Amino acid sequence: MDDLYRDYILDHYKQPRNFGELDPHDLEAMEHNPLCGDELGVHIRVKDDRIEDLRFHGHGCAISQASASIASEELIGMELEQVGKLGADWMIELLGIPVSATRRKCALLNLKVVRSAVTGDHAWPA
Amino acid sequence: MDDLYRDYILDHYKQPRNFGELDPHDLEAMEHNPLCGDELGVHIRVKDDRIEDLRFHGHGCAISQASASIASEELIGMELEQVGKLGADWMIELLGIPVSATRRKCALLNLKVVRSAVTGDHAWPA
Amino acid sequence: MPPVAESALDVKGDFPIFARRFDGRPLVYLDSGSTSQKPKVVIDALAGHLRNHNANVHRGVYALAQEADAAYDSARSRVAAFTGAQPETTIFTKNVTEAINLVAYAWGRANVGPGDAVLITQMEHHANIVPWQVLCRERGAELRYLEVDERGELSLEQLDVELARGDVRLVAVTHVSNVLGTIVPVAEIAARARAAGAVSLVDGAQAVPHMAVDVEAIGADFYAWTGHKALGPMGIGVLHGRREILERMEPFLTGGDMISSVDFQSATWNELPYKFEAGTPPVAEAVGLGAAVEYLGRLGMDRVRAHERALTGYMLERLEDVPGLRVAGAPEAEARGGLASFTIEGMHPHDIAELADRGGVCIRAGHHCAQPLMSCLGVSATARASIGVYNEPGDVDALVDTLLAGREVFGL
Amino acid sequence: MPPVAESALDVKGDFPIFARRFDGRPLVYLDSGSTSQKPKVVIDALAGHLRNHNANVHRGVYALAQEADAAYDSARSRVAAFTGAQPETTIFTKNVTEAINLVAYAWGRANVGPGDAVLITQMEHHANIVPWQVLCRERGAELRYLEVDERGELSLEQLDVELARGDVRLVAVTHVSNVLGTIVPVAEIAARARAAGAVSLVDGAQAVPHMAVDVEAIGADFYAWTGHKALGPMGIGVLHGRREILERMEPFLTGGDMISSVDFQSATWNELPYKFEAGTPPVAEAVGLGAAVEYLGRLGMDRVRAHERALTGYMLERLEDVPGLRVAGAPEAEARGGLASFTIEGMHPHDIAELADRGGVCIRAGHHCAQPLMSCLGVSATARASIGVYNEPGDVDALVDTLLAGREVFGL
Ligand SMILES: Cc1ncc(COP(=O)(O)O)c(C=O)c1O
Ligand SMILES: Cc1ncc(COP(=O)(O)O)c(C=O)c1O
């Protein structure tokens, strides 16, 4: 079996969870991956300083879409303060596959866009 | 004996012929060698479309000074039209020593300045 | 099945990298559009120069420096001869990007002003877009685009309409598109630009390594290309310019070697081409590029083109075996350089390239530094397989195999 | 008689070029100020990269491209670490000349205006003069010079007076003079510039290969140097910049790799350091430079400096044996980098160098790209002998022998 393209990755890629728009929403952001030009956006609804609900939109490769889908399930319900502290390791571990240096940005694009919506910080998660 | 620094070269270097100023003069020019920053100037007195008299001034290496000195003896009396046609080969042959690609500009500086005075052409003799 | 004929080259053995194995598999390199691999003669020329003849150029009186000077000069002469240009109007830069920036800064800032226009095409590489955006913004000029049709082609009628507006100062076009492969009729474009009083620049990055290029015959005012795509080292590019224009231009980078004399407040400039080569140039890289064009010249550029065209035809044919695969641009090999950009329904280009790599096949995925064109194509990225002299039909077969296997991984 | 002690390095054998013979004589290379020779490890790293790991950087998904990326990144990290800098603020250029031009164009045009001044010194290399002349002319600013005294030194009092005028936007100074050898107190100058609200730039071309340099400790806003003088390949230079300044700056060269996104009329920029590296960089050259700084690091820069200082002292001493010879600048080795510029009464520097070459000794003659300094010294040219890690006392002896023999040829 392929290291990277595990069944659950392809499953999340083909049926991404929490994809679409969310209106009304409280926070939003859009970021892109300079390597391929892919764009990913997010809509977030906030309640009691937590992410009450969240939707991603945009397109990308299996790694970036699966990351967004998998992360979405963890992010919903998370305190905003905690979201601001999430680092690259969190995402890579959650993804559970070996990500090469080149594909790292694919895997981290969703976290970048969520942090951008929540904290205004446009940096790549470190 | 040294190929380059023959006795007559050193002799012309140490006692350059036709060096100094010439006042009044009809034509003059000043050119420099970009490799070392050396400058060479010339004053020319013209009579009947010929170089009646000529003086070089400035400083330079043995090759450039000896070239100027040796050439001066040929140039005096030469028709201006002929001066305009003198090429690099004329000078190199006259000098009579093997000149490396790097030192070529040293050997040709005097011809450049004379042609510049006579024809207004600032190009290196080819 | 392979299309090979007398035209076929068999030169993989000249390129040391193909001796490598990746997980036991040979290297199938189909990314020459990105950078070419280097023949042994180039690597040896470069390393041999450093080992035996290294010195700074232009000034040294000693024998070693004269060897370095001679090596640098003769590299320039070879490179100029290879493209039908003169050494004095052949400027070494660090890559084609710097060459185009040189023109944008040194020619553009003096010649493009408010109300003027720069005309480029929708299929330019960012290197032939962004410098003109910056110039036009700074100078209050307009940047306009020639459209690219379904076949990846430009319309000479649109060119005429644009030129007839009378404001176009510069027409800058690629010779071969790095995404669509389109071979652009640059001689015709340069002629029409000139007739309209516009200066022309051709980005030959994807042309010079793959077909006979004669810059004199093309007649553009500037023709730029890059060493590393032409079997040469990285760190060296080439700008051929028209002498009268280069002579009238102010320099771009300033400093040592490009001056004639310097005093405290001003300087005068050296003769061509040195006026445009500030500081210590990449001498060993020039020597390497000289060896590269000599190697290509020995193969014969017509044979190189024939080989690559045949292989491209074969690739276009074989790619049809992959369900859901769509190639962008013209369907005939005749009309294009040796590359094919494609998408596969249900797979992102990054995943296509990643899965190709599983089979040891190197292809590129992304926007290929041509985001405006991507937006015209309605995609954010494509996969691209591109050919070099060393490729063989078996490389294409390996590519198709990995694409088919990749589709299976994706359950397609 | 040789001054050698524990500090002495014995590394000539690491440099393949010294195996060559010229007319049966070994190579005595005393022109490292112009360019350094390359150790085998550097040539092998460069050639090995081309042979085994060549691909374009930044984008490739395939394994070979990831190797190239890793090689390029790790070269940058090594180079940054060698000079106490951060990788993200360490920009690869083609040489130090481009690095200084980058600052002149991208920082200077936005920050220097009418009524402002740029302050440099009388002992700058043309690379640190002409870009400021061009900038000041374009922007209506003034270019002023700090004077150099008999010992080749600057006056910090004059610096203070100049800074107190309140119009100085930039102070650009060499770290080590390529003519006088002067080691300039750049940390002190950078601190005073900063206190006066001026930005500082240090040209480290002659410093980095010869002494421990810590750009963090020096504290200049920009610190530039060049690979080929530091045992590395030609075609690569380095600009270290202060992060806040680099972030506020617009880019210099534009095109591929330095963008974040491009649409038809505008573009956004990539993060540091890529924003300043347009187009394909010299990857193998970066790898070579990485190997060079690793080699120097293994020798230990303090040992390198001790070795070169001792040898310089010996050279200054031995040159006294040549009648009519005058060395420019400070008489003590302690105060200078490893070089001596000199004249000999009755012989032109070109002839001195030519005659030195008769004995297989490579020295340089000319204005050393420092014509304003030459005019201060009242000469048009000097001869210059400059030292590298591979030099030995015997090289100095050979130099002195050829100078004495040269005087005889000239009948002096
Ligand atoms: C002090 C100094 N600055 C700048 C330079 C220019 O270096 P490069 O030609 O590598 O740009 C040199 C060397 O020639 C130098 O000695
Ligand atoms: C058409 C075209 N132009 C310009 C470039 C830029 O070349 P370089 O990165 O060598 O400057 C490329 C290659 O990337 C290209 O394909």
Q: Convert the pLDDT of each residue in C343-366 to its tens digit.
A: 999 999 999 999 999 889 999 999
Cα C29 to chain centroid distance, Å, stands at 18
Tokens read off for A75: 């992010």
CB atoms within 10 A of CB D74: 14
Lowest mean pLDDT among B113-117, C1-5, D363-367, D371-375: C1-5
The answer to whether the CB of C226 is under 6 A from ligand 2 is: yes
B36 with D371: Cβ contact below 8 A: no
Chain D CB contacts of C17 under 8 Å are 51-52, 54
What's the pLDDT at D58? 83
* C166 and C315 co-located in one domain: no
| B66-105 tens-digit pLDDT | 999 999 999 999 999 999 999 999 999 999 999 988 889 9
**pLDDT per residue over C238-268, tens digit each?**
999 999 999 999 999 999 999 999 999 999 9
Q: Judge contact between B41 and B113, C-beta under 8 A.
A: yes
Task: Please tell me whether residues D322 and D385 are part of one structural domain.
Answer: yes
C-alpha C316 to ligand 2 mean position (Å): 23
Where residue D2 falls among pLDDT bands split at 50, 70, 90? Answer: very low
Residues C272 and C343 in one domain: no
pLDDT beyond 80 at C4: no
Q: Residues D242, D329: one domain?
A: no
Residue D209, pLDDT above cutoff 60: yes
With respect to residue D38, please indicate whether it lies within any of the assigned structural domains.
Answer: no
User: What residues of D act catalytically?
Assistant: 369
- Reported confidence tier of residue C299, pLDDT bands at 50, 70, 90: very high
Chains B and D touch (3+ CB pairs under 8 A): yes
Candidate from C34, C96, C103 with most ligand 2 atoms within 8 A of CB, to mutate: C96
Residue of D83, D340, D336 whose CA lies nearest to D208 = D83
B52 lies in some domain: yes
Q: Last residue of a domain, which of C242, C271, C297?
A: C297
pLDDT in tens, D248-259: 999 999 999 999
> Do residues D317 and D356 share a domain?
yes
The shortest CB-CB distance from B38 to any of D354, D358, D380 is to: D380
**Domain end call among C252, C280, C297:** C297
Of C297, C317, C351, the position where a domain reaches its end is C297
Provide the mean pLDDT of chain D. Answer: 96
Mean pLDDT value across residues D226-246: 98
State whether residue D261 sits within 8 Å of chain C by CB: yes
Indicate the pLDDT class of residue C2, thresholds 50, 70 and 90.
very low
pLDDT bracket for residue C136 (50, 70, 90): very high
Does the annotation mark C369 as catalytic? Answer: yes
The domain total for chain B is 1
Range of the domain at D307: 12-30+300-409
Judge if D130 and D150 occupy the same domain. Answer: yes
* Residues of chain A contacting residue C358, judged by C-beta atoms under 8 Å apart: 2
Please answer whether residues D63 and D40 qualify as being in contact, where contact means their C-beta atoms are separated by less than 8 angstroms. Answer: no
Pocket test for ligand 2, best of C95, C103, C125 (most atoms within 8 A of CB): C125
Asked if residue A45 is part of any domain, the answer here is yes
Centre of ligand 2 from the C-alpha of residue C125, in Å: 7
D6 is a domain residue: no
Q: What is the mean pLDDT of residues D231-241?
A: 98
Q: What percent of chain D has pLDDT over 70?
A: 98
Six-digit token string for B1: 């004996």
| 3-class secondary structure, D201 | strand
Taking an 8 Å cut-off on Cβ atoms, the answer to whether A61 and C355 are in contact is no
Q: What is the DSSP letter of B109?
A: H
User: D357 and D374 in one domain?
Assistant: yes
| Residue B82 located in a structural domain | yes
User: Cβ A102–D260 below 8 Å, yes or no?
Assistant: no
CA of C38 vs chain D CAs: smallest distance (Å): 7
Query: Would you say residue C217 has pLDDT above 70?
Result: yes
The answer to whether residue A1 sits within a structural domain is no
> Do residues C392 and C345 share a domain?
yes
D278 with D171, same domain? Answer: yes
Q: Contact B76/B88 with Cβ under 8 angstroms?
A: no
Residues of B in contact with D374 (CB under 8 A): 37
CA of B83 to the centre of ligand 2 (A): 50
Domain-located, residue A88: yes
How confident is the prediction for chain B on average, in pLDDT? 93
Rounded Cα distance between C284 and D235, Å, is: 9
Share of chain C above pLDDT 70, in %: 98
Q: Give the largest CA-CA distance in chain B.
A: 43
Q: Which ligand is nearest to the CA of C94?
A: 2
D393 in the same domain as D280: no
Q: pLDDT tens digits for chain A (126 residues)?
A: 678 899 999 999 999 999 999 999 999 999 988 777 788 999 999 999 999 999 999 989 999 999 999 999 999 999 999 999 999 999 999 999 999 888 899 999 999 999 999 999 988 998
Measured between CB atoms, which of C355, C358, C381 is closest to A38? C381
Identify whether residues D307 and D289 lie together within a single domain.
no
3-state class (DSSP) for residue B19? strand
Q: What is the CATH number of the domain that holds C377?
A: 3.90.1150.10
Q: How far is the CA of C93 from the centre of ligand 1 (A)?
A: 17
Q: How many domains does chain D have?
A: 2
Q: What is the mean pLDDT of residues D88-103?
A: 98
Each residue's pLDDT tens digit, D140-158 = 999 999 999 999 999 999 9
What's the confidence (pLDDT) of residue A37? 75
Of the candidates D60, D260, D271, the beta carbon closest to that of A102 is on D60
Listed in sequence order, the DSSP H helices in D177-300 are 186-195, 215-218, 243-248, 283-299
Closest approach of chain A CAs to the CA of D227, in angstroms?
27
pLDDT at residue D1 is higher than 50: no
Q: What is the CATH number of the domain that holds D148?
A: 3.40.640.10
Which residue's alpha carbon is nearest to atom 15 within ligand 2?
A: C205
Domain membership flag for residue B95: yes
Peptide bond into D87 cis (omega under 30): no
CB pair distance less than 8 Å for C354 and A4: yes
Q: What is the bridge-based pairing of β-strands B50-58 and B39-47?
A: antiparallel
pLDDT score of D333 more than 50: yes
Select the residue of C65, C69, C261 nearest B34 (Cβ to Cβ): C261
- Say yes or no to pLDDT of C88 above 70: yes
The verdict on D71 touching A (C-beta cutoff 8 Å) is no
Q: What is the CATH number of the domain that holds A70?
A: 3.90.1010.10
On whether residue C38 sits in a domain, the answer given is no
Does some domain include residue A75? Answer: yes
Smallest Cα distance from B17 to chain D, Å: 17
Tell me which chain D residues have a C-beta less than 8 angstroms from the C-beta of C125: 255-256
Q: Are residues D22 and D93 in the same domain?
A: no
Examine the pLDDT at D276 and tell me if it is beyond 80.
yes
Alpha helices per DSSP H over D196-241:
215-218
Pocket test for ligand 2, best of C126, C178, C231 (most atoms within 8 A of CB): C178
Exposed, middle or buried: residue A55 (CB in 10 Å: 0-12, 13-18, 19+)? buried
C384 Cβ below 6 A of ligand 2: no
Q: Is the ipTM of this complex over 0.90?
A: yes
Cβ–Cβ below 8 Å for A10 and C410: yes
pLDDT digits (tens, 9 = 90+) for C180-206: 999 999 999 999 999 999 999 999 999
Domain extent at residue A25? 7-119
> What is the pLDDT confidence band of residue C5, given thresholds at 50, 70 and 90?
low
Q: Which residues in chain B are closer than 8 Å to C59, comparing Cβ atoms?
A: 35, 102
Q: How far is C193 from C155, CA to CA, in rounded Å?
A: 14
Residue B1 belongs to some domain of the structure:
no
Of C34, C47, C51, the CB nearest to D56: C34
Mind telling me how many Å the CA of D339 is from chain A's nearest CA? 45
Q: C-alpha distances in angstroms, C171 versus C60, C161, C168, C174, C202?
A: 41, 13, 7, 10, 8
Nearest-by-CA chain B residue for C73:
B101
Is the minimum CB–CB distance between C349 and chain A shorter than 8 Å?
yes
Of the listed ligands, the closest to the CA of C121 is: 2
| Contact D51/C at CB under 8 A | yes
Please name the residues between 157 and 176 in chain D that touch chain C, using a CB distance below 8 Å: none
